[in-house]
Amino acid sequence: MDDVKIISVNGLKESNFIRPRRLKYTQAGKDKIWDYMIVHDSVAILIFDVSIKSVVLVRQFRPAVYMTMCHYAEKTNDQPEPKPSDGITYELCAGIMDRKEPPQAIAASEVLEETGYEIEADKLQLISEYRNGVGTSGSLQFLYYAQVDNSMKVSEGGGCDEEGEMIDLYNLPLKDIKSFIEDTTVTNRPVGVLFALQWFLNNKAENFEQVD
């Protein structure tokens, strides 16, 4: 996963996933300019496997995280050059809404694709809807909870080969969730992961026997 070699870094006008825009507007009579991006809305799924009493997270190399660290190290000259492994993040199973299907259906397909668990869309519990990147994109994300067990594991997951995804699974034991949230040494975690895990502790954890 971390066998990465940077070939080039170039400016970008537009892509299938990001469309930069510059807005000129007035607010309270003052002229203003704001740069933002049009991106897809998305789904994210907090998965708990009752068979192993663990939250199932995904690990993957995120170029944006790695390159941001590289740019920062280059700018400050006071940190060692980041390694590709530094760009690996801990995330919820997630995916963009790039087709005309209900968010629950897209979420169920992402669970199967990334983690190998087969779950019916109507079994997903909606936790919340919120805006991501309010300063840059304002895209909408639907957050779901999925309860699974080992009988629902039908494949290894790992993502979509055609899309070049390389995903590893990371099982976070129930007893370690609180310490994972509070561990300030692990920064490669989106805020959505921390929010979802805290929601689980507040709303679901007591339903399961604690493990030593």
pLDDT tens figures, 128-187: 999 999 999 999 999 999 999 999 999 988 877 677 678 999 999 999 999 999 999 989
Q: Determine the pLDDT at residue 212.
A: 47
pLDDT confidence tier of residue 1, bands split at 50, 70 and 90: confident
pLDDT greater than 50 at residue 73:
yes
pLDDT greater than 90 at residue 13:
no
Range 40-205 has CATH code 3.40.190.10: no
Query: What is the chain's mean pLDDT, rounded?
Result: 92
Per-residue pLDDT, averaged over 26-30, amounts to 97
pLDDT greater than 90 at residue 119:
yes
Q: Distance between CA 60 and CA 89 in Å, rounded?
A: 6
Q: Determine the pLDDT at residue 139.
A: 97
pTM: 0.90
Three-state DSSP string of the chain: CCCCCCCCCCCCCCCCCCEEEEEEEEECCEEEEEEEEECCCEEEEEEEECCCCEEEEEEEECHHHHHHHHHHHHHHCCCCCCCHHHHEEEECEEEECCCCCCHHHHHHHHHHHHHCECCCHHHCEEEEEEEECCCCCCEEEEEEEEEECHHHECCCCCCCHHHCCCCEEEEEEHHHHHHHHHCCCCCCCCHHHHHHHHHHHHHCHHHCCCCC
Q: Identify which of 107, 12, 2 has the alpha carbon closest to the alpha carbon of residue 65.
A: 2
